[in-house]
Amino acid sequence: MTFTFEGARVFLADQIVETTVTVNNGEIAEIGGPVQGERVDAAGLILAPALIDVHGDAFERQLMPRPGVFFPTPAAVIDTDRQLASNGIATAYHAITLGWEPGLRDVARGRELMQAMQDLAPRLLVENRVQLRWETFAFEALDVIDWALKAPLTPSLAFNDHTSMTMRAYDVPIQERAFELSPDFSIASLDDERMKKRTASKAHRAGLSEDAYIKLLGEVWERRDQLPKVIAEVAAKAHTAGAPMLSHDDTRAETRSYFRNLGAKVAEFPMVIEAAEAARNNGDLIIFGSPNAARGGSHIGSLGAGDMVEAGLCDALASDYFYPAMLAAVARLDQEKRADRLKLWSLVSEGPARAMGLDDRGVIATGKRADLVLVDWPEGQAPAIRGTWVSGRAAYRGQPAG
């Protein structure tokens, strides 16, 4: 199928210009040529590379709309897919937690979700991929990781350690904890009443009593000495499969170095400047959360995404827990003049593509995959997606009432 966008201001790699863009057989065939095939009237709109989300877990609200209330997985996947399309996200890495907790984030539920995504793929509008959000203490997940690495669409693998985060000493702020595998890591007592307060929300999510959750946490913590060996084995398998690897919530240069040496060349949500600068100084790519940027700061007191963009310490913005945040983040950062508009848009398109090794998309250039969005962005107002194309196929078209 051949069609041409006409009348839009087009976000090219190095300029914003009103020109035509022709799509043929799912690829960008020509820029600046005559109208070919069907004409898409884009007057007054922006044509930009479609968004690429490298980490999003908002699908959990479709799986469990209320605490403890689960919906059928196929319905949740289909609704999530439609949300992605209407928010301009053509490629999404769903951050599926593979953890040791029962409930929403247990291993069996994660595998069921990935299987549903594969089964439903022909009916979905956008490219739904997976980030294996592996809790490194979850040895229960190893077989599922092996299975997932052989999926039709190669997943990414993110090393998470919320277990050590939970077990840090009570007087250590979350951003000041040491490298989790360091002998200097200070450990909290499970018998302290403060542990119940720290784990209450986790116990509720897992469907366990506070005492049962803490007992399970203690049993899992006994695995700590085995972690280096198991992490290295999983990293080697991911490398063999060609899966991009990320470390999550780094607080030390030592942490970033450890995971970089295992092949994880992406720092996801570094919490402190030491970790972010360690990533940049060693050529690693850096991801922050779009909600952080859209809200004007981190809700847990970590680094501000806007500040990191301005400092040149951010390569990509992820939806994290709210799909509309990606477009909202670009808008706020543009309003705050953190960078020029093309640079800001690259944070949700070309930057994520580089982080995931997707060299066929993320920019508007001939020969690239026609993953595109039409954006209505009146001066001084919030932007809105008017259309999303995935490999040249219309995944979403919106016609406002006015």
pLDDT value of position 402: 82
Q: Which two tokens stand for residue 397?
A: 């078209």
Both 391 and 244 in a single domain?
A: no
Residue 219 Rama label (left phi>0; alpha psi -120 to 50; beta): alpha
CATH number at residue 289: 3.20.20.140
What is the residue-level pLDDT of the chain in tens, covering all 402 positions?
A: 999 999 999 999 999 999 999 999 999 999 999 999 999 999 999 999 999 999 999 999 999 999 889 999 999 999 999 999 999 999 999 999 999 999 989 999 999 999 999 999 999 999 999 999 999 999 999 999 999 999 999 999 999 999 999 999 999 999 999 999 999 999 999 999 999 999 999 999 999 999 999 999 999 999 999 999 999 999 999 999 999 999 999 999 999 999 999 999 999 999 999 999 999 999 999 999 999 999 999 999 999 999 999 999 999 999 999 999 999 999 999 999 999 999 999 999 999 999 999 999 999 999 999 999 999 999 999 999 999 999 999 999 999 998
Please, which residues bridge with residue 286 across strands?
267
Both 23 and 65 in a single domain?
A: no
Exposure on the CB side of residue 399, measured as CA atoms within 13 A: 1
Both 112 and 16 in a single domain?
A: no
Residue 349 Rama label (left phi>0; alpha psi -120 to 50; beta): alpha
Both 268 and 378 in a single domain?
A: no
pLDDT value of position 394: 98
Both 268 and 314 in a single domain?
A: yes
Both 34 and 113 in a single domain?
A: no
Give the span between the Cα atoms of 217 and 192, in whole angstroms: 14
Q: Quote the domain boundaries for residue 18.
A: 1-50+361-401
CATH number at residue 369: 2.30.40.10
Whether residue 373 contacts residue 88, with contact meaning beta carbons closer than 8 Å, is answered with yes
Please, which residues bridge with residue 215 across strands?
none
- Residue 230: phi and psi, rounded to 5, are -70, -45
Both 356 and 217 in a single domain?
A: yes
Both 309 and 370 in a single domain?
A: no
Query: Which residues are within 8 A (CB) of 152 and not within 5 positions of it... i.e. 6 or more apart?
Result: 118, 121
Both 30 and 91 in a single domain?
A: no
Nearest to 327 by CA among 348, 342, 307, 309: 348
Both 353 and 371 in a single domain?
A: no
Whether residue 205 contacts residue 105, with contact meaning beta carbons closer than 8 Å, is answered with yes
- Model pTM? 0.97
pLDDT value of position 339: 98
Both 198 and 80 in a single domain?
A: yes
Provide the domain count of the chain: 2
Both 152 and 178 in a single domain?
A: yes
Distances in Å between the Cα of 269 and the Cα atoms of 1, 238, 256, 290 are 40, 21, 12, 10
